[in-house]
Amino acid sequence: MTLLLPTAVDDAGAREAAAASAFLALPPDPALDAAARLVAVYGTGALRLERIAAAAAIDEAGLRARFGSDRHLREALEQRFADSFVARVRAAMDQCRDGDWSGRLRAWVRTAVTAYLEQVALHDALFHDAHGNGYDRQAWQDNPVIDQLVELLEGGIAARVWAAPDPRMTAVIFFSAMHGAVDRAIACGDAQAQPDETRHRLVQTLIGHFERNVQWWTRF
């Protein structure tokens, strides 16, 4: 039997606490919420139906009937992560007044950056685990976060506030830029050493680039 140890003992508690708040934008799901906490601390090696059943204090037979296999459990957790991310961003954008497309774009950037920084341990375990699914090129096409950005861009274009000849390609570029900028801030240590300053700098830099990219007077 393989003993699963925390990925980093010193911050195991912080990882678990962050994962516990990962899905607050969605209705509770004891099985997947327990799975998220375990994955954030131990990695995807903890995604075993019997282990999740014990952590969630639910019947293993019922869990097995629901998911069928460890792989399907992981897929369900990945989907829940994406759904929660999208719901959290949508709630922030919905705070903007009708027609405030710039405000909605800024809300998307602020919330996406914050959510990624807060949930990086769970995100990386699910989507970048070396023992997981590996690189998934199809994710650039079938991605609910990118779909949400496309919807946002098309709304601003329809309102004649923005211009973009290919909203989906623009959304992919925006998503890639956000993802890469946050990854770089984590890799160089800025996100850990100066979290508030780094988050502010990321948000302001990305907003500046994104708004200039879709200005209606831009010539193509």
Q: Between 19 and 185, where is the model more confident?
A: 185
pLDDT digits (tens, 9 = 90+) for 64-98: 999 988 889 889 999 999 999 999 999 999 999 99
Domain positions in the chain are 9-213
What is the CATH T-level fold of the domain 9-213, as seen in this structure?
Tetracycline Repressor; domain 2 (1.10.357)
pLDDT of 8 reads 42
Cβ atoms of residues 84 and 145 within 8 Å: no
Model confidence at 10: pLDDT above 60: no
Q: The whole model's pTM is what?
A: 0.84
pLDDT digits (tens, 9 = 90+) for 175-200: 999 999 999 999 999 999 999 999 99
Mean pLDDT of the chain: 86
